[in-house]
Structure 1
Amino acid sequence: MRIGIVVDSACDLPLEYLQQHHIHLLPITVRIGQAVLADHRNEEATLQFLQAHLAERGFEAETTPFTVQQVRDLFVSQLAIDYDYVFCMTITKTRSPVFENANQASFAILNDYKPVRSAAGFNTPFSLRVIDTLNLFAAQGVTAVEAVRMRAAEEPPPKIRARLEQLVNATHGYLIPRDLNYLRARTRHRGDRSVSFLSATLGTALDIKPVLHCNRGETGPIAKIKTYEAAAQKLLKFAARRVSRNELLTPTVCLSYGGELAELRALPGYQTLRLACEQHGVELFESLMSLTGMVNIGKGALALGLATEQAAWDG
């Protein structure tokens, strides 16, 4: 059976990996004033957009995912021909309408695919499963990588589906913003009051950074640490302990960074995590953060995703 995998462009995985494993993208378009870029995970284009537009006015950005009609058209015109079963994995519906759009489109897709598929010479059924990853950014990558592994092992779709739906509940995403004033401006622009003026001002004055945690669609702070570098070190060493203790449900850790990856690799704690992954057979994926991620969390933000049933934080 030909199994396809689809993610939205907020899913932080390297473009080379997406291309190598034929993972299809639902791009999210970012508009800042008159500047518009559809995020196709192109690192050079993203960095240029970051440098030219994001730093000053990124908090005002509008993000637009594929509409229901665009998702339907992509599947009916291409994916329903190229594959027999497709898993579409999206950013958590608590933070974006991508899941709802894809889910609504799935009904039209399953009604409309037969004539197109038949004309292409395929008379067998086409199936589609839309899965809310219940997470965002780097943590979305954990589920996508597992889907790739299971497809390569030629596991049947029901087994892949059950595994992915179990995994999303145990996937944990972590975020460390570098600029709390930017984060406050962005959340206010979105109508989200989760970062107050007082906490942002005090945090900036005292150089205290929050560690934000996402699991099962819920996001909130789990720690406050003085200096960005110290917060990054605690998070990366926390992940290294999970790896070293064999506490991961999948041999995958995903990292993304809102800037050049050389800066990510220079962070304290990075080498500890990299070495732990090498010693325990865990793949460490590193990517430039998506435009959606940088727009919402800010330039220089760090994101990490892994799957475990252990405590969410012991930093």
Structure 2
Amino acid sequence: MRIGIVVDSPCDLPESYLQAHNISILPTTVRMGSAMLADYRNPEAALQFLQTHLAERGWEAESSPFAVEQIRELFLGKLVIDYDFVFCLTITKTRSQIFDNAQQASFAILNEYKEPRAAAGNNSPFALRVIDTQNLFAAQGVMAVEAVRLRDAGEGTPKIRARLENLALHTQGFLIPRDLNYMRERTRIRGDRSVSFLAAKLGTAFDIKPILHCNRGETGPVGKVKNFDNAAQKLFDHATSRIEKRELMTPTMCVSYGGVLEELRELPGYAQLRQACVVNNIELFETVMSLTSMVNIGKGGLALGYAAETGKIEL
């Protein structure tokens, strides 16, 4: 059986990995004033965005997911022909409409796939499963990598589905914004009150950076650390500790950064995390954030994800 994997553009994995494993992208559209950019997870485009004046008021940007009809067209025009079963992994539905749009599109796709498949000389059934990763950005990548690993190992779709749905419950995502004022303006535009005006002003005045944690679609602070570099080290030390204690459920660690990767690699604690991954046979995926991720977190933001049993996390 030919199994396809689809992710949305906020899923922070290296472009080379996505291409090597034929992972399809559901793009989002980022609009800033009169400028409109399609986010297909292109690092060069994301970095160019950083270097333009758009980045200075990026909190005003609007991101919109593929509409139901666009998802339907993508599947009927290509995916139902190339594959027999497709797993579509989306950002948490608590933060985006992508899951709901994909789920709605799936009904039409399953009713209409026979004609395009028959035209391609294939009369066998087609099926798909839309899965809410219940996480975002770098943490989404953990499930995509596991889907690839299971597919390449020859596992059947029922086992892959069960594994991914269980993994969604235990994927731990972390975010550290560099600019709290940016984050506050961004959340205000989205109607999200998670970063108040007072918290942003006090955090900026005293250089306090929150470490945000996402699990099962819920996001909240698990630590507040003075200075971004110190917050990054605290997060990297936490991830390194979980690796060394052999607590990860998959041999995967995903990290994304809102800037050039040379800056990421110079952050304190990151070299130790990389070494721990090597020693313990954990595959480390590092990438420039997607344009969508960067618009939501801000320039210089950091995201990290892994899968492990959910427990109380304090940093």
TM-score between the two structures when normalised by the length of structure 2: 0.99
Give the residue type in structure 2 aligned to 1:298: G
Cα distance in 2 for partners of 1:290, 1:311 equals: 29
Contact 1:12 1:138 survives alignment (8 Å): yes
Cα distance in 1 for partners of 2:53, 2:182 equals: 14
Structure 1 counterpart of 2:19: 19
Give the residue type in structure 2 aligned to 1:286: E
Structure 2 counterpart of 1:130: 130
Deviation at 1:53, TM superposition (A): 3.8
Contact 1:257 1:287 survives alignment (8 Å): yes
Structure 1 counterpart of 2:279: 279
Contact 2:87 2:129 survives alignment (8 Å): yes
Structure 1 counterpart of 2:83: 83
Unaligned runs of 5+ in 2: none
Structure 2 counterpart of 1:96: 96
Structure 1 counterpart of 2:151: 151
Deviation at 1:42, TM superposition (A): 1.2
Cα distance in 2 for partners of 1:154, 1:54 equals: 45
- Of stretches 138-147 and 180-189 in structure 1, the one that deviates more from structure 2 is 180-189
Cα distance in 2 for partners of 1:186, 1:295 equals: 8
Deviation at 1:14, TM superposition (A): 0.3
Contact 2:5 2:87 survives alignment (8 Å): yes
The Cα offsets for residues 123-156 of structure 1, whole Å up to 9 and x where unpaired, read as: 1100000000000000000000000000000100
The Cα offsets for residues 180-212 of structure 1, whole Å up to 9 and x where unpaired, read as: 010011111111111111111010000000000
Deviation at 1:98, TM superposition (A): 0.3
Question: Helix, strand or coil: the match of 1:253?
Answer: strand
1:250 is aligned to 2:250? yes
| Mapping of residues 1-315 of structure 1, within 5 Å | 1-315=1-315
Deviation at 1:54, TM superposition (A): 3.9
Cα distance in 2 for partners of 1:55, 1:2 equals: 41
Tell me: CA distance 1:51–1:312, structure 2 relative to 1, closer, same or farther (3 Å): farther
Q: Which runs of 4+ in 1 moved over 3 A?
A: none
Cα distance in 1 for partners of 2:53, 2:210 equals: 25
Cα distance in 2 for partners of 1:107, 1:3 equals: 19
Cα distance in 1 for partners of 2:301, 2:195 equals: 16
Contact 2:257 2:289 survives alignment (8 Å): yes
Give the residue type in structure 1 aligned to 2:116: V
Question: Helix, strand or coil: the match of 2:285?
Answer: strand
Deviation at 1:313, TM superposition (A): 2.3
Deviation at 1:270, TM superposition (A): 0.2
Question: Helix, strand or coil: the match of 1:230?
Answer: helix
Q: Identical aligned pairs, as a percentage?
A: 68
Deviation at 1:314, TM superposition (A): 4.5
Question: Helix, strand or coil: the match of 1:174?
Answer: strand
Question: Helix, strand or coil: the match of 2:51?
Answer: helix
Query: In angstroms, what is the RMSD of aligned CA positions?
Result: 0.8
Question: Helix, strand or coil: the match of 1:166?
Answer: helix
Give the residue type in structure 2 aligned to 1:115: E
Cα distance in 2 for partners of 1:79, 1:312 equals: 40
The Cα offsets for residues 203-232 of structure 1, whole Å up to 9 and x where unpaired, read as: 000000000000000001111111100000
Cα distance in 2 for partners of 1:40, 1:97 equals: 17
Cα distance in 2 for partners of 1:51, 1:189 equals: 23
Unaligned runs of 5+ in 1: none
Cα distance in 1 for partners of 2:290, 2:43 equals: 9
